[in-house]
Each structure stands twice: as C-alpha cells, then as structure tokens.
Structure 1
Amino acid sequence: MKRIFVVLAGLCLLIQSPAIADEGMWLPSLIHKLNIGEMQEMGMELSAEEIYSINNSSLKDAIVALDRGSCTGELISSEGLILTNHHCGFDEIQTHSSVDHDYLQDGFWAKTKAEELPNPGKTVSFLVRVEDVTDQVTADVTEEMSFAERNGAIQRKSFEIQKEATEDTHYDARVQSLFEGNRYYLFVYETFRDVRLVGAPPKSIGKFGGDTDNWMWPRHTGDFALFRVYCGPDGKPANYSEDNIPFQPRHHLPISLKGYEKGDFAMVMGYPGSTNRYKSSFGINYTMTETNEARINARAKKLEILKLYMGSSQKARIQYASKHARSSNYYKYSIGQNKGLNALQVIEKKKNIEEEFTNWVNASEERQAKYGQALELIESAYENTNDESAYEYLVETMVRGPEVFYFSYGAKGLYEALKQGNQERIASNAEQLRAELDEYFKDYNAGTDAKVAAALMEVYHENVIPGYYPSFFKEVKNKYKGDFNAYAEKMFEKTVFADKATLEDFLNNPKLKTLEKDQAFQSALAVFDLMSVLGSKMSETKADLLTGRRLFVAGIMEMYKDKTFYPDANSTMRLTYGTVGDYIPRDGVHYSHFTTLKGYIEKEVPGDDEFDVPAKLKELYFAKDYGQYADKDGTLHTCFTTNNDITGGNSGSPVINGNGELIGVAFDGNWEAMSGDIAFEPELQKCINVDIRFVLWTIDKFAGATNLINEMTIVK
C-alpha cells in the first residue's frame, strides 16, 4: 500500500533539544529517564513515580481514552465522574436529543445518578502498564529477510506477547510500532463499557462560536461535558446494568481554583491520535495537493447542503448537528494546514534535512550500504499519484459523502445469500440490517442525501481522470447526458434504502431481483469495487515504502546519536509539558494568554446559531455573580493558552499544574499553527484550553448542578 493505507511519518523522528520544552509527545513511562529533571526545573513538584507508576496510584490512573482513543477524559471524583470536551460527547448529546428534550439546545444535567443516560457502545480505557518489547518482537528477525518475512515474524511475536499479557485477565493489550518500526512497545488496558452522560452545557456555551471560531483565538467556548464510568459490583468492567455501581478509580484529579500566571508550568496528559512531523518533502506536497484538496473540495459542497437543510427546522438541526460538526472540523483544518505549511516553508525545510541526511550517508561506505536506499524508496512511492488521487476523492465524495452508498453496501451479505439461495444466511443478514434501521433513519433525510450525492459525484467527475471513474458513470453520461442531479433523483426515487418503511417491507420478503435493479445498491457495489481495485494498485509499493521509512528513521537516530527522540503520536498515552503564555501571530497583533466572560457579551449576535448567548449567562455576568470561581483580578476567566504539544485525540485532555492539580481542559489548537501535525512551530503553536473555573461556574452557578461540585476535590 502506498500513501493512503499506510500513513507516512516519513522524513525523520522528532529530535528534542533540552532547550525547547514545549515540543514533544512523550511516553509517560520514560519520563524518569528523559524529562523529569527539566520538568521539575520548570515548576513540576511531582516525582516521576507520582506521574506514572505500575504499582502505586499515579496521574496516569486518572486519564482515560474515550472510545479507544478518539478523545481523552479525566477522572475528577472518587465516584467515576469523567470530564472531557463537549465536542467529544456531541454524538451522545445529539443521540439523546429530541424535539421534546433538546439537550443540544438546552443542555443536560443529571441531578441524581438515576437520571444519568446510558450510551451503548461508548467505552473508557485505563492504561495499566507500558513495556518495551522490542527485543522480543524482533528476536526472529534477520537482515536477510524479505519485507513479508520480516513482517510475518514481527506479527507472530506480537500476538504471542499480547496473548501472554492478557491471559487469565480481563485486560486487552496491543503491541504497537514506534519510531517507524525500529521500536515496539506493549500497551495493556482495562476497558469499561458502561459510560453514562451526566452533564453538558447548552450548545450556546459548549459550542459557542461554532465553525467561525473553530481553531481560532481568542476563544470563549465552554467546550466540556461530563460522563460517569460504571462497573459491576465486583469493580470490574461490565455491560450496562441497573445493578452496576460507579467506578472508584485509583486516582482522580484535584481541581485548583488558584488560577495561573503567564509562565506557569502546565502539563497535558492524553491520547494524541497521529502526527506526521517527519514526512518527507514528497509526502508533504502530496498531503497538500491531494489529501487536503480532495477534503476541501468535497466537504465545501457537502457542508453547504447540510447547513441549508439544518436551517429548515428544529428537527433537521438536531438530526444533522453531529454530522455537520464531524465534517466541518477537518474541512477547516485542511485549509489552515495548507496555509500554515506554505507560510512556514515546510517543504523547503524538509528538503534541506533530506540533503543533510544524503550527505551524511554518502560520507561512509558502511552507511551507504545500510541507509543509501532509504530516501530513494520513499521518493519512488510518489512518482505517480493517480491511484492515490482517485482514492482520496472516492473516499471523500462517495464513501464519506452521501450516506446511501455506505448504508446500502451493508446489504452485500444479503445480496450474496440471495444469489446462493441460502435461507439461513438470508434470514440472518436481513435481521442484521433490520436492527440498524431505527438508529439510521432517526437522523436521515433522503432529499438532503440525494443533493449531497449529486453534488459530490460531480466533484469526483471534475477532479479525477476518466480511467478511474466508477462503472455507473457511463450510465450517467449515456442515459442522463452527464446530469448527476437527474441520476441521483432517479436513484433515490427507486431505491429501497432511502425510506424506512420501504426497506422494512423489503427485508420482510427480500428478493434478489430487487437488489439487482436497485440503483443505489448497484452504485455502491461499483464504488467499493473501485475502492478495492485502487487499494490493490496502491499496495504495490508497500514493502519498499515501509522499508525506506524504517531505514531512514534508524539513520536519523544514528546521525543525531546525542539527541533525545520521541515518536510520532499513535493514540497511545503521551505527556507534554510547557508553560502558560501569550503569542504574537503577526505584525502588530499581540494575543493575551486568557479570555474572560466579557467576550460572550462582546461577541453576542442574538438568535444567531453560533453567537447567541443564554439569558441566564448574561444575567450572571451583569450581576458579576462569579462566586468562588472568579480570578484574583475579579473577572471570570473562560479560556487560556499554553504551548503544550497536542493534536487530535488530545481533545478533553487535562491541563495540570505543577502540583498535579487540574486547571483546564484542552480542546483546540490555534489557526496560525495548523501545520503542527507535520511541523511544530514553537513561536506560534498554542494549545487552547477551557479554564476549569469556568467549567465549575457553569455547572454550579449557571446550571445549579451543585450535586456534581460536591463530588469533586476542590483546592482553593
């Protein structure tokens, strides 16, 4: 597989200079060797053992991965109360919302544990331990092995290690590659399956500023939500049951009301998803011109259509709120990333590093023999990107675009069973589809999906060469004279997959002929057949590409043997440390390191979807009713910035002061540093956080949920 199935982390590993404390996503299990001295010099009062310990309670025991790493949360009470971001709980809030109980619009607060709402499928995972297993994993690897042989040996050993680590336990484990296949670590987790929604502010606080303020500073967004993790009476993970009890964690974070000053130590622990800081110049060019462009072109059309429908009614807004939010986030991110990479001249900087590496390799015959092909193998993967370009657009326009293709493709098993005449399989597949209908059609509008389908098929047609068109494009050209709107209209008119009652009737008596004539289903088959073909073509350079990456990283580590390295993020727990601070984004502009509640009043646009301000908030503001949550300057701080190194997956991560106390919740990065996943910019990169005092003020003063405040350990 080339660049799509295998994420390039490309050019080199992160080289961490002791002088730059804000860059680095460190494994907590290694800070006793690499970082603790510098952290303590900067203001950390805890020991390495108090941050990460296997045998004793430590900070790591209060940090959880939500849904195996999509977001981060932290335990803030001895009764399993979890704090995370509003956007991390957005799907659950939307799922529980209805016209009669609009929790997105009005917020939700459980005043008793009996009122907390279950969320089937949602999980939280605690890290039990981390272990370097490189020697065991590579024990059978030799230099003479082919890529396939090497990969097979590594997989076999990894499975053995995982099995041994979890035998006779309820834990799960993963052996994960770090440093591009040069090191391997075992991560052992305890995962809980009963996670209930406890509280969320209204969207006018939790998503204040909407898409306009997303990735921007200054911010005034109360981006937080509360969940609770439950366990069986024995304290172990269990499926939802009324008999379950709140989980008692080994550690929960005390909450500081003391605030912060510019320059104060700040640490973030969480589960960053992925970074590609060391992509080659070739890889970065591909990201900008192919991946990001496909995302921008497709999602601009999709978001316009969704927004129009959402404005038609309260029901429509609730239905598509989560879908719109998911799509818009990385639409804007891709625009910002391209802008940042150009502004920072990242490709040119990468070329300079590549030249330095090449000169170092060529200075020694031994190094030439060992690393001489590394960059050549990486570069060759980018010689012809037609396959990848088509794949990028196919995913954005027809896999993640209209819902009808992905949903109807779920009937392929039924289709095959009907062709075989296998009655048992027919019944089983029909029942499986039937079980999905309520959830799918609850938040679905066929007319909107038809418009999305037509617009995005047109985007694909305009941006991909004809040799990569799905087979049904011929019908669009010949029968519909190239009119994708007409094709989509007919497709939705005839398909059984656009209406719940029609689909139920079909599933009660499924016929092969129906699926053979169903335009949406047959189009979906063509889309996923093409996806498979492109995947096969892209797999041709997988061995060379991964070998090149591994050798290049090994060479960089040898080239800079006196430096300290950290691996790219890969949804495993990481720690990053830095300081609270302001920044200067451009000439003549100086941003303060914090915002206050006054910003809500200044930004207010009454009735606006993004900048409406709740009446209760305004009442409290004008009365200056901040209670114990006011800063010493008399204002209520809403958000603040630090230079912690974060990325997607860190959403909801705790911001912790030098005493191990919670001072904020990370929720965003700044627009000027959208290049950060590829190139960290120490002068510009900022982590945007909700002030914990604003969180507590909203819970206490705004919502009156003092029952939740009473659970917490408050430090004044």
Structure 2
Amino acid sequence: MSFPQNRDTHGPGKDRFMKRLFVIATLLGAAPAMADEGMWTYNNFPSAKVKEKYGFEPSQQWLDNVRLSSARLAGGCSASFVSANGLVMTNHHCARGCIDQLSTAKKDYIANGFYAKAQGEETQCPAMEINQLVKITDVTETLNKATQGLTGKKYADTLKAKMSELEQACSAGNAKARCDVVTLYQGGQYNLYEYKRFQDVRLVMAPEHAIAFFGGDPDNFEFPRYDLDVTFLRVYEDGKPATTNNFFKWSDKGAQEGELTFISGHPGRTSRGLTIAELEFQRDVVLPKTLMTLSEMRGMLTEFGRRGAEQRRISTNLLFGVENSVKALKGRHEALLDKTFFAQKVAAEQDLRKKVEANPEMKKKYAAAWDEIAKAQAQLRNIRQDLTFMENGGGLSSTLFQVARTLVRGAEEFPKANGERLREFNQANVPALEAQLFSPAPVYPELEIARLTFSLTKMREELGSDHPFVKKVLGKESPEKLAARLVKGTKLRDVKARQALYKGGKAAIAASKDPMIQLAVALDPDMRAVRKSYEENVESVIRKNSELVAKSKFEIYGTNQYPDATFSLRLSYGAVKGYSENGKQVSPITQMAGTFEHATGEEPFALPKSWLKNEKALDGTTPMNFVSTNDIIGGNSGSPVINKDAEIVGIVFDGNIQSLGGEYGFDESVNRSVSVHSQAIIESLTKIYGATRLLEELRPGSTKVPPVKASPAK
C-alpha cells in the first residue's frame, strides 16, 4: 500500500507466498535480469531487450519525456505530471499526510473527501515537496579517485565531503534545485541526480478514504481489488500554477489485457544485492526487534483512538502507517526465515565467491570484502540498541523533540564548512530541511505525550534503567511525567518560535529555557558519539567493501544489470497479464460493478454515500483495477502506468501477495503490480464527483469516455 509496500503473511496468503520463494531464490544471484524483471535506471535502460520481447524500442527522446513527466513526493512516494498546468497525480495514501493535516474536527477530508471546484479553492499542503528529475550525471570516477586507498574514518569523511561538494556545486545556491548523490550497486556506481524542486503543493481532489482504501487490511495485497486510490495535487511557482512542458496525456482506452506497460516511479528499497551476513542480521536482529516495537505501538495507538472521536481522527494517520510497516516487515521476515529460500541465497553468494577465488587478480582485490562486511555486522550488533534509541529516534519519538534536535544541531552544524557538516545539514538539503522545520502542520499535544511516553518506556526497557543515557533523559521522573512536562512546557508548536531559534543560532539556543531545547542540548553529545561510532566503524566498512563486491560482480557478470532500489527514479516494463493461483486463473482486470458486489455495508467494506447514491449512473462494465508483470516495490505507490505512446493507462497502488518476495527477487509467473485503471478514474470523476474542471484539464475538449468492457475477475 504505502511506502514501503506491505502485506500480512498469515492465513492462506502465507502459503501462496512461501510456495514461490524457492523459485525467487534462483533469481537472486548477480546474473543479468530475466523476463520482465528489473527496476532500471534511465541511463541504463534495456530498450533493445524490450523490443526483442514486445516489439517496441523506447528511444532516447521517449525516455527523456517519460523521465521529465515523472515526479517524486520527497516524503516517500511516486507521482506524475498530467497537464501543462502543474497538475500532479498520485495515490490517496501517498497524499494522506497532506489531507490529514488540512482536516479539522469540522472538516474531515479523510472521511468526506475534497474537491476544489475553482482554482482559488486549491489548498496548500503544509509540508510537501515534489521533485522532477532533470539530469543524471555519473560521478563514480570522481568519488573513487577521491577515496582511493582510504579506509575507516578517513574514507567516511572524504566520501561525505566529496558528495557534499558535488551536491553544492550542482544546486549552486538555487533553492528550486535539489541535488543528491545516489549510491547504486552498493557503492559500485555513483550518480548525481539533479531535481527541480516544487515546495508549493496544493490539494486539488481526493476521494473519501472508504473508497481509496476499500477493503482495508483484509484486501491489502490481494487481487481482485476495487480501490480508487488516487489524488490530484498541483505544483505552484511564484504563486501561480507551474508550467509543465512535459506531462503524460490520457489514454482513450486505458490498460488492455496483453498490452505492454511501463511504470516510472521511485521504488524505495530492495535487498537483492546484500550479502548473507547483512541478510542474517536483518533476519535475526533487526526485523524481530522492530516488529515487536511496532506491534506494541499499534496497540498503544489503537487504545488512544478509543478515547474519543477526535483522538481517533488525529491518530488514524499514524496508526495507518504503523500497520503498514508491520505488514511489510512481517513479509520480509517470513521470506528470510524460509530455509529453502535462504539456502539458495547462500549458494548464490558462494558461487560468486568461488569465481573470485579462482582468479588470482580478483582474489587479491575482492576476496576479503565479504568477511569485512561480516565483521561490520558483528560490530553493528554491539551498538544497535544505542543507535536505535539514542540517535535514530527510537527513545524520543516526538515531532516536537525532533524539531528541537534539528534546531540544536543546525546551530552547531551551519557555521562549519559544508563538507564537514552532518549530511542532512549540507547546503543542498537546506530548503527541504527548512520546509519541514517551519511547516504549519498541526501538532496535537495529547498524541505527542502518548507517543513520547511510549518511546521513553521502550528506551528504558531495552537499554536498562542503569544505562547512562536513560539516566540522563529521565533523571528521577517517570516516562509519563517527563513526556507531559516537556510537551506542555515547550513553545515549539509555534512556528514563529522555531524561526526565532533558527535565526538566532548558537546564542539563541544557549539562552533558551524551552524544556525540549534544553533536553536536546543535553543529549546531543551522546547521540553524536554513537552516530560517529556507527559511521566510522560500521557504515564506512560496509560502503567500502560493498563497492568491492559490486565491482567483482561487474567483472564476472558484466554491467547489464539493474541496481537495488534507492528511492531514485526507475523504469520497469511488463504487460497486463493474469496469473494462476491455487489452480485457478486470475483475470487481470476487475469491473466497477464488482465494487458494489464486494461491499457489505460494514467497515472496511462500506462504500461512501456518494458511491451508493450514484451506483445506477455508473457503467458497471468500466474497468476498475488491474494487474501487470511490472517489477515494483514500496515507493512505487503513485507511479503512473503508461503505454508505448506514453499515455496514462493507470496508477500503481499495491502489489499482490505473491509480490512479497520483491524485496529479495522477482518471479514473473506470479509477481504482479496492482493499479487503478484510468477508465475508473474518469468514470468516477464524471458520474460520482462531478469534477468537470479536473476532467477538462485531464482530457481537453472532451469529458466523455468511450465504453470499455473488462472481463470479470475469476
């Protein structure tokens, strides 16, 4: 569903999922991609391979247009430009944060939806940034030359400084530019991605939550599906709708069975190239611990929501995210626990290492890399709890504390040379940092106290009451009393107070009596110390040696490979195609009539009143959702699905249950992306929401849609 894509693996779905893992495991080596597999970078897209299978070869001009028509929600999701006037399409669940922040007890846009009938009614999202990738530059040679022969702290510091230098030179002080050095192939390659940044993003249309997430958790990662998971935004420049020269036009017919499809989006993360030592650490330590904490947090938020209607409203978005994360991590953990699957992962790595050992020159350069990564994982085990609860926010889960820490660290970091700062404070990241820091998004004290109490309690439980950091945080207070005192005493809910501290720098921070600021000042040295230990003794070792592993793969298997997902723009190709499940064929396209047949009147299968009222007006044969063989992962949510003419035929919102193995591999026979059909969007906007202005912008000159019949799902 949301970033990252998630799915529960209990019940019959688990068996379906696990049955495919041994097949997926055979695809996890470093050999070139098979079938429709691959989340390809735009500067290494296999156009000839697409032509060989589907008869269409994307040209460079085609690729450039699709890249510029694609967009990224900086907070974690994909999107696309769909008009010349800055109109952006993404998922409802991707824009949910904005919709929730604009809602109040009297105007609940999550429950009731939102539509701006006129441009003046389009409402600015408090904290959203949209990026458009305008240029890709390979900077591998520059970074390798800068770090050649270096290890440990010297390697980490040099790499960080050089990345910051490249990013700063790229953005050149332009607040509308965002530049990121992207690590590909676990360090085998580095690309500099230059984005155009839009920070004035406004909500145009969002359906009700009940239809955007119809079927809720029971239907999540299932197919057939019947969701209208779509929302429209608009990017503005200088107070006016932005002019977007590159955008996707709307297909007349939408996705057709057997049709070639492309998905252009920003997959968040895959682990197909990690070593066995890294996967073992995830399987044995990270995933079990994280799942336990998230499950407990889910219980806390569920209880909080039962206190009253307003408590439920303000906590639902956070609960939604926690539940999604639980399901995602459950799926990953199940994959790594499967013995046959993991044994074949081990075999693939051993085969690669044998090839390296057999070549004296390669052995000298690369053979020790896997053992060095394993040693770094052992070191990470020793500091994991401190890193989690001290530096990574596990012990102080609070929006207001994170604001305080950003202000405290900013005052310390900004006077330094750009290359010496912590990465998040380098000059290229300042516009995004300031947008988040000064966001007028509401912060709810009661929810803040509940979250902070929970995380402080977990910190004391995991680190122990005698841990020096725990003593420094809590003193003689209980988690409950400390959380209440901090939240009630801070002034950081006021954006003007944040701005004054930010502008005042070190002097303002030192003089502040705000309890959140004072706590952040007191804790920052300890937090920095554990981060420093991680960066110098773990991260730098893994980076350096992963680079060597990647180079060994290049020498053995060549460069015709795709890198693991990194929340950078990728293009996948496939076709609208059903699959076999439990001996039965699943048709690839569902119909709108099935939505009403699937409804029960009770959550999560209760349709909005607008849908029930207009059921008879709808053409029930209109395609609703569909599946395709495109390779995707979490972060692809909101990606446009396009045909060979670069026209919108749908929008990705999920994957089927068999796609859970997408974290570690791809099996074309059953892995499917799940998308909203473009015809369902038009039919809904026309006959349910009366969104004439929006329809005219999507399809200039016509709001009529040719009838398209879909085969009912079996």
TM range, smaller chain: 0.7 to 0.9
1:88 aligned counterpart, secondary structure: helix
CA offset digits 1:228-276 (Å, max 9, x no partner): 1222xxxxxx4xx3xx2x2232222122242434432111011222222
1:86-97 map, 5 Å? 86-97=92-103
Selected match of 2:480 from 489, 493, 509 = 489
Please tell me whether the aligned partners of residues 85 and 224 of structure 1 are also in contact (alpha carbons under 8 angstroms). yes
Q: Give the aligned partner of residue 234 of structure 1.
A: none
Which amino acid in the other structure matches residue 50 of structure 2? M
Q: Against the structure 1 CA distance between its residues 222 and 345, is the aligned structure 2 distance closer, same or farther, given a 3 Å change threshold?
A: farther
Q: Give the aligned partner of residue 63 of structure 2.
A: 52
Q: Against the structure 1 CA distance between its residues 208 and 415, is the aligned structure 2 distance closer, same or farther, given a 3 Å change threshold?
A: same
2:187 aligned counterpart, secondary structure: coil
Please tell me whether the aligned partners of residues 268 and 567 of structure 2 are also in contact (alpha carbons under 8 angstroms). yes
Per-residue deviation, 1:198: 0.3
Q: Give the aligned partner of residue 619 of structure 1.
A: 613
1:564 aligned counterpart, secondary structure: coil
Q: Give the aligned partner of residue 354 of structure 2.
A: 359
Selected match of 1:40 from 51, 65, 84 = 51
Please tell me whether the aligned partners of residues 297 and 459 of structure 1 are also in contact (alpha carbons under 8 angstroms). no
Please tell me whether the aligned partners of residues 82 and 228 of structure 1 are also in contact (alpha carbons under 8 angstroms). yes
Please tell me whether the aligned partners of residues 663 and 691 of structure 1 are also in contact (alpha carbons under 8 angstroms). yes
CA–CA distance in structure 2, aligned partners of residues 472 and 136 of structure 1: 46
2:469 aligned with 1:470, yes or no? Answer: yes
Higher Cα Rg, which structure? 1
Per-residue deviation, 1:120: 4.3
CA–CA distance in structure 1, aligned partners of residues 273 and 63 of structure 2: 28
Q: Give the aligned partner of residue 71 of structure 1.
A: 77
Q: Against the structure 1 CA distance between its residues 50 and 502, is the aligned structure 2 distance closer, same or farther, given a 3 Å change threshold?
A: closer
Q: Give the aligned partner of residue 22 of structure 1.
A: 36
2:698 aligned counterpart, secondary structure: coil
Which amino acid in the other structure matches residue 642 of structure 2? I
CA–CA distance in structure 2, aligned partners of residues 161 and 401 of structure 1: 33
CA–CA distance in structure 2, aligned partners of residues 87 and 548 of structure 1: 38
Q: Against the structure 1 CA distance between its residues 153 and 100, is the aligned structure 2 distance closer, same or farther, given a 3 Å change threshold?
A: closer
CA–CA distance in structure 2, aligned partners of residues 639 and 449 of structure 1: 38
2:97 aligned counterpart, secondary structure: helix
CA offset digits 1:139-163 (Å, max 9, x no partner): 5564x44455556665666556555
Q: Give the aligned partner of residue 249 of structure 1.
A: 244
Please tell me whether the aligned partners of residues 156 and 540 of structure 2 are also in contact (alpha carbons under 8 angstroms). no
Please tell me whether the aligned partners of residues 98 and 315 of structure 1 are also in contact (alpha carbons under 8 angstroms). no
Q: Give the aligned partner of residue 697 of structure 2.
A: 711
CA–CA distance in structure 2, aligned partners of residues 312 and 464 of structure 1: 30
Please tell me whether the aligned partners of residues 496 and 502 of structure 1 are also in contact (alpha carbons under 8 angstroms). no
Q: Give the aligned partner of residue 129 of structure 1.
A: 135
CA–CA distance in structure 1, aligned partners of residues 448 and 533 of structure 2: 30
CA–CA distance in structure 1, aligned partners of residues 526 and 154 of structure 2: 29
1:405-484 map, 5 Å? 405-406=401-402, 439=440, 442-446=442-446, 448-463=447-462, 470-472=469-471
Percent identity between matched residues is: 24
CA–CA distance in structure 2, aligned partners of residues 529 and 219 of structure 1: 50
Per mean C-alpha deviation after superposition, the further-off stretch among 359-368 and 487-496 is: 487-496
Which amino acid in the other structure matches residue 606 of structure 2? D
CA offset digits 1:119-174 (Å, max 9, x no partner): 244222222222323344445564x4445555666566655655555559764433
Which amino acid in the other structure matches residue 560 of structure 1? Y
1:711 aligned counterpart, secondary structure: helix
Q: Give the aligned partner of residue 550 of structure 2.
A: 553
1:155-170 map, 5 Å? 161-162=166-167, 165-166=170-171
1:472 aligned counterpart, secondary structure: helix
Which amino acid in the other structure matches residue 620 of structure 1? N
Per mean C-alpha deviation after superposition, the further-off stretch among 220-229 and 565-574 is: 565-574
Tell me how large the CA RMSD over aligned residues is: 3.9
2:204 aligned with 1:188, yes or no? Answer: no
Q: Give the aligned partner of residue 671 of structure 2.
A: 685
CA–CA distance in structure 1, aligned partners of residues 547 and 127 of structure 2: 36
Which amino acid in the other structure matches residue 444 of structure 1? Y
Per mean C-alpha deviation after superposition, the further-off stretch among 536-545 and 460-469 is: 460-469
Please tell me whether the aligned partners of residues 395 and 456 of structure 2 are also in contact (alpha carbons under 8 angstroms). no
2:349 aligned with 1:350, yes or no? Answer: no
Please tell me whether the aligned partners of residues 75 and 249 of structure 1 are also in contact (alpha carbons under 8 angstroms). yes
1:651 aligned counterpart, secondary structure: coil
CA–CA distance in structure 2, aligned partners of residues 455 and 161 of structure 1: 41
CA–CA distance in structure 2, aligned partners of residues 617 and 669 of structure 1: 25
1:76-475 map, 5 Å? 76-139=82-145, 142=148, 144-146=149-151, 161-162=166-167, 165-166=170-171, 171-231=177-237, 238=238, 241=239, 244=240, 246-343=241-338, 345-384=340-379, 385-392=381-388, 398-399=394-395, 401=397, 405-406=401-402, 439=440, 442-446=442-446, 448-463=447-462, 470-472=469-471
2:651 aligned with 1:665, yes or no? Answer: yes
Please tell me whether the aligned partners of residues 496 and 503 of structure 1 are also in contact (alpha carbons under 8 angstroms). no
CA offset digits 1:330-365 (Å, max 9, x no partner): 121111211233347443222112211222122232
Q: Against the structure 1 CA distance between its residues 612 and 502, is the aligned structure 2 distance closer, same or farther, given a 3 Å change threshold?
A: closer
Per-residue deviation, 1:36: 1.3
CA–CA distance in structure 1, aligned partners of residues 63 and 313 of structure 2: 41
Q: Against the structure 1 CA distance between its residues 36 and 91, is the aligned structure 2 distance closer, same or farther, given a 3 Å change threshold?
A: same
Per-residue deviation, 1:391: 3.0
Per mean C-alpha deviation after superposition, the further-off stretch among 267-276 and 171-180 is: 171-180
